[in-house]
Amino acid sequence: MKTLNHTIAAAEQIPVAVVSEEEHLASGGLFEEPEEYFKPESEPTFRSYHRKGCGDEVKLKLVGSHPLWAHMLWNAGLVLADYLDANPSLLQDKTVLELGAGGALPSIIAVKCGANKVVVTDYPEDELIVNINENIENNTTANERENVVNVQGHLWGSSMEPLLAALSESGETKFDVIIMADLIANHSQQNKLLQAAREALSDEGVVLVSFSSHRPTVAHLDERFFEMAREEEHGAFEVEHLFTERLLKPMFKVDWGSDTVHVRTLKRKE
């Protein structure tokens, strides 16, 4: 399997991990940013992604500044999109779920690679869901929108039934591929992400987890996700390191961890 360098650099802003009060207190305010560091864009931005194999352009609209960082096109999402586009057999005729989709680039690639069904989700807020639908509208055919794509708002930790119900016409009951692109930095939500995998992944399925350690000093909190994944109560998944890609520069001048993207898989034990 091949890996490819990403093709888009996002605007320079500072990512903040969503942490619990306990983690915040334990860190001594580590996740607080100097006020002058963060100057969000209030208007939507637009990015173009060029598929390496066919040269097709994916045109993405990103929402204006958003507390859940949906206004960014993250390196981890770009690297994963490149990888999926280079290995379409991972997606062809498969059922796919993307959590925390943001601009939905990996989901769009899944559609273009011939997935049977692609369920695209993000936080259930109108602005985010409308934006995803707009990106789907601009980058897929009418037939793909009618028969392949399903967009839903989904709060992590809530019932997976509406997402699984979207598979009814596909003849499947679980997802073959679950995409988590740069989500595990939300340390307080890791157990909910694992809950989704535990409840929605098919027996032979795979969870693709791409991430950067945006705060190298607390990289152990990112690694905790994979430690939890191996535990019985969280699914007893097998964790495999797929590849690491080092990029030319970080997304942000003071985000030294984002120049490196790791991709790992979770699979059910046989």
Q: At 49, give phi and psi (nearest 5°).
A: -120, 130
Q: What is the pLDDT of residues 49-65, one digit of tens each?
A: 999 878 799 999 998 55
- pTM here is 0.82
Domain, as residue range, for 115: 74-268
Q: Which amino acid is at 145?
A: R
Query: How many other C-beta atoms are found inside a 10 Å radius of the C-beta of residue 221?
Result: 20
Q: How much of the chain exceeds pLDDT 70, in percent?
A: 78
pLDDT of 97 over the 90 cut: yes
Q: Is residue 69 part of a domain?
A: no
Q: What is the pLDDT of residues 28-85, one digit of tens each?
A: 333 344 444 445 557 888 899 999 878 799 999 998 555 444 557 888 999 999 999 9
pLDDT of 172 over the 50 cut: yes
Higher-confidence residue of 74 and 234: namely 234
Q: What's the CA gap between 117 and 104, in Å, rounded?
A: 14
Q: What is the pLDDT of residues 104-140, one digit of tens each?
A: 999 999 999 999 999 999 999 999 999 999 999 999 9
Q: Determine contact, residues 59/46, Cβ cutoff 8 Å.
A: yes
- Local confidence band at 4 (pLDDT 50, 70, 90 cut-offs): very low
Q: Is residue 164 part of a domain?
A: yes
Q: Is residue 139 part of a domain?
A: yes
222: its two tokens: 């990112």
Query: How many other C-beta atoms are found inside a 10 Å radius of the C-beta of residue 184?
Result: 26
219-230 and 190-200 helices, crossing angle to 10°: 30
* pLDDT (0 to 100) of residue 40: 53
What is the domain count for the chain? 1
Helix (H) or strand (E) holding 24: helix 21-27
Q: Is residue 217 part of a domain?
A: yes
Q: Is residue 141 part of a domain?
A: yes
Q: Output the domain CATH number for residue 96.
A: 3.40.50.150
Q: Is residue 62 part of a domain?
A: no
* pLDDT (0 to 100) of residue 20: 45
Q: Is residue 49 part of a domain?
A: no
Q: Is residue 13 part of a domain?
A: no
